[in-house]
Amino acid sequence: MVVVDNEKRIIVDAGREGDVEEPRDGKVITANGQTILPGLIDAHVHFWGCKVYDLTAWVSTPETLVALRSVADLRKLLMAGFTSVREMGTKGGAFLSRAIKEGCIDGPEVLSCGRSLGKTGGDDDPTNLPLHIAQELSYSYFADGPWECRGAVRKVIRDGADFVKVYAATGTTPETYTSPMYHLRPQFSVEEMKAIVDEAHDSGLKVAIHAIGEQSVTNAIEAGADSIEHGMALTEDAAREMKRKGIFYVPTLGVFLTSPALRSFIDNPNLADDVYVRRHLTSDMELAKQYGLKIVAGTDFGGNDEQPHGQNYIEIVSIAKYLGNKEALVSATSRAAECLGLMDNGQIKKGFKADITVVRGNPLENIEALAPANIALVLKGGRLFTPN
Ligand SMILES: [Zn+2]
């Protein structure tokens, strides 16, 4: 049973029925055979507002249409029990975040990077377009050299970013993940990323670095990343260093497991075991577990047909296969809150924000209890939503 202060929108007491005093005012949430959980957190999402997973679509879909589709996606996330998400690069991300805070639309709290940072001619630069148009349309600010990188951090802070997202490596095409021979070029240099981290940390912002391939993972660690996103091709040395520095690991299993193109590679018995996507689902996760890395649930879902918002629990189910149900729940609640810097969130605890998800069944016994059809109610900041 949990008691919520309606005014302050925080948890004032929690415990077994009988141990908790029922207040005269305030909201009481009882389990009734269901399970009361902290609100779920997805630490890696996009709001592309597109039907397809495609760079050209991401940059060219009209922004009004993206915003309207994103409003629907935000509601689906909330009804699926997600009360906070970290938005990893969408042109209007900071505005979605603001609209939620103002209460004009329903959805999880959105922590936004505003725009991501990439190098000119990098993987998220649509090079089929003239540069000035590509920059105008991109969800990233392009920057080259340490001072431009510092300037790009200042721009996202101006836009209202809550943290900084950086592309340390290529990685938006299936070829990236499916060939061991594919040249995974690092994008920003260590020098550039160190400037980004320094500038961001000076303003109290964390830095999430998209890293794929041995070199970019190593570069991201050296530059001082707070979290490594995807983190494909983890080595023993990298895992040891991540553990020593306390860097969060967001393996985004969901995006790989839900892509039909990548699934065909994962399931193809004729393909070498060391293709990156296979290695990610085997040795990367085993190393992360072995070194006790702080694994965080993040889907990399963008709301397209293959990775629809509302199905984000898939990440928690996927992590459970490696770490067990309890740790998987931790990865999507208290540890995710720590990764996002939400210090009063992610736990059912006195004084914490009243972000609560109640599910039918017990996810410790059956992780599928987190599926959207089993969400009985959601409290976000003490406000009640009943999905089913
Ligand atoms: Zn992403």
Q: For residue range 166-218, what is the model confidence (pLDDT) as tens digits?
A: 999 876 565 666 555 455 778 999 999 999 999 999 999 999 999 998 899 99
Report the pLDDT value the prediction gives residue 267, as an integer from 0 to 100.
77
Q: Which residues of the chain have pLDDT under 50?
A: 181
Report the pLDDT value the prediction gives residue 172, as an integer from 0 to 100.
59
Ligand 1 geometric centre to CA of 14 (Å) = 36
Cα gap 124→223, rounded to integer Å: 21
Q: Go through 90-112 and write b for each residue having 16 or more CB atoms within 10 A of its CB, e for each that does not.
A: bbbbbbbbebbeeeeebbbbbbb
Ligand 1 geometric centre to CA of 16 (Å) = 40
Report the pLDDT value the prediction gives residue 175, as an integer from 0 to 100.
61
C-alpha distances in Å from residue 101, one per residue of 110, 242, 354: 8, 33, 15
Report the pLDDT value the prediction gives residue 35, as an integer from 0 to 100.
96
Ligand 1 geometric centre to CA of 365 (Å) = 30
Ligand 1 geometric centre to CA of 165 (Å) = 9
Ligand 1 geometric centre to CA of 104 (Å) = 26
Ligand 1 geometric centre to CA of 308 (Å) = 14
Ligand 1 geometric centre to CA of 361 (Å) = 31
Ligand 1 geometric centre to CA of 300 (Å) = 5
Q: How far is CA 113 from the centre of its chain?
A: 11
Sequence-ordered list of residues with C-beta below 8 angstroms from that of 136, at least 6 positions apart, any chain: none
Ligand 1 (single-atom ion) residues, CB below 5 Å: 88, 300
